[in-house]
């Protein structure tokens, strides 16, 4: 019997074979086979769900080593599951904050999960092989309520989303033609400037610039040429204002400049004269 088991058998029947015993064992092995197939199907279904989730899924052991990575992880990191599985989490990810960039990224995640609850989120930087780092938004939680249990991490590349958000913020505050601040941003800056001058007893100046006969340029040469003129004027204005000053296009051919921390009104007059002279220089158009 031991020899039979050592050869790989899982059970045996004694001769003569009893029909009832044979039926029972067949039923038992059919059930085992069905359960085994169900496990295989569930594993295949899990892999299909994890690979079709559209996000990277990683399972990391408490010591910081990756135990599982789905197909999206391999694609995002430019590597294979054979190289990723078993490697350290910190080889592939690090903190966005320079203050913590030298610390163990996984240790911060592990501590955060254990101290603050099951579900947490953090922004990190991914280090793909042979590619440029990119930002990821990572959500993570323990697999089980046990300090020794692995942590499941789900992340996605948010480069495009952050780029669009940055673009929307820019469009909300700056004029797309001249790259100067727009009206809304200027009014907000002016409000803060007035409050600051009152608090510190300093002076500020508001300069309004309107281009004479600008409409005739648009009518004669077209709006593209008019835009080039506006860009040229804005470029000249930028060379005359300090980083602390605010230059804005208020709309059409109207500009405004907010000069902060003035020593006297004489300084404002000198700045205005320089701007008038610079803007008044001829614009050579081809």
Distance CA 280, CA 272 (A): 12
Enter the tokens of residue 217. Answer: 């340029």
What does the pLDDT read at residue 102? Answer: 60
Collect the ranges in the chain with pLDDT lower than 70: 1-17, 22, 28-30, 32-54, 98-103, 117-119, 144-147, 264-266, 286
What does the pLDDT read at residue 119? Answer: 67
What does the pLDDT read at residue 39? Answer: 55
| Burial class for 206, CB neighbours closer than 10 Å (0-12, 13-18, 19+) | middle
Size of the chain, expressed as the number of residues it contains: 286
Distance CA 72, CA 82 (A): 14
What does the pLDDT read at residue 52? Answer: 47
What does the pLDDT look like over 176-213, one tens digit per residue? 999 999 999 999 999 999 998 888 888 899 999 999 88
Distance CA 286, CA 282 (A): 13
22, 29, 45, 51 from 37: Cα distances, Å: 22, 12, 12, 21
Rg for the chain (alpha carbons), in Å? 34
Distance CA 286, CA 283 (A): 10
Q: For residue 260, which phi and psi values (nearest 5 degrees)? A: -100, 160
What does the pLDDT read at residue 200? Answer: 86
What does the pLDDT read at residue 45? Answer: 45
What does the pLDDT read at residue 112? Answer: 78
90, 94, 118 from 115: Cα distances, Å: 20, 20, 9
Give the number of other CB atoms < 10 A from CB of residue 77. 22
What does the pLDDT read at residue 22? Answer: 65
Helices 183-200 and 159-173: angle between axes, nearest 10 degrees: 70
Q: Are 140 and 154 in contact (CB under 8 A)?
A: yes
């Amino acid at each position: 019997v031991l020899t039979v088991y050592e050869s790989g058998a899982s059970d045996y029947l004694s001769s003569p074979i009893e029909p009832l015993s044979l039926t029972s064992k067949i039923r038992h092995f059919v059930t085992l086979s069905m359960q085994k197939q169900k496990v295989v199907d569930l594993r295949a279904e899990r892999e299909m769900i994890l690979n079709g989730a559209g996000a990277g899924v990683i399972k990391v052991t408490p010591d910081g080593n990756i135990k599982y990575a789905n197909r999206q992880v391999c694609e995002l990191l430019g590597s294979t599951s054979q190289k990723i599985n078993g490697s350290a989490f910190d080889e592939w990810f690090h903190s966005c904050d320079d203050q913590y960039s030298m610390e163990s990224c996984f240790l911060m995640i592990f501590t955060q999960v254990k101290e603050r609850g099951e579900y947490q989120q953090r922004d990190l930087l991914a280090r793909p092989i042979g590619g440029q780092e990119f930002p990821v938004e990572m959500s993570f939680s323990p697999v089980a309520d046990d300090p020794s249990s692995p942590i499941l991490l789900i992340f996605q590349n948010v480069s495009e989303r952050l780029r669009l958000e940055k673009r929307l913020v820019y469009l909300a505050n700056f004029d797309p033609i001249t790259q100067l601040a727009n009206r809304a941003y200027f009014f907000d800056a002016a409000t803060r400037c007035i409050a600051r001058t009152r608090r510190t007893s300093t002076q500020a100046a508001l300069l309004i610039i309107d281009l004479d006969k600008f409409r005739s340029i648009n009518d004669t040469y077209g709006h593209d040429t008019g835009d080039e003129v506006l860009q040229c004027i804005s470029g000249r204005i930028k060379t005359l204002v300090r980083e602390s000053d605010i230059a804005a296009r208020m709309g059409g051919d109207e500009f405004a400049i907010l000069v902060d921390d003035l020593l006297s009104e004489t300084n404002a007059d000198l700045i205005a004269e320089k701007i008038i002279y610079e803007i008044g220089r001829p614009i050579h158009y081809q």
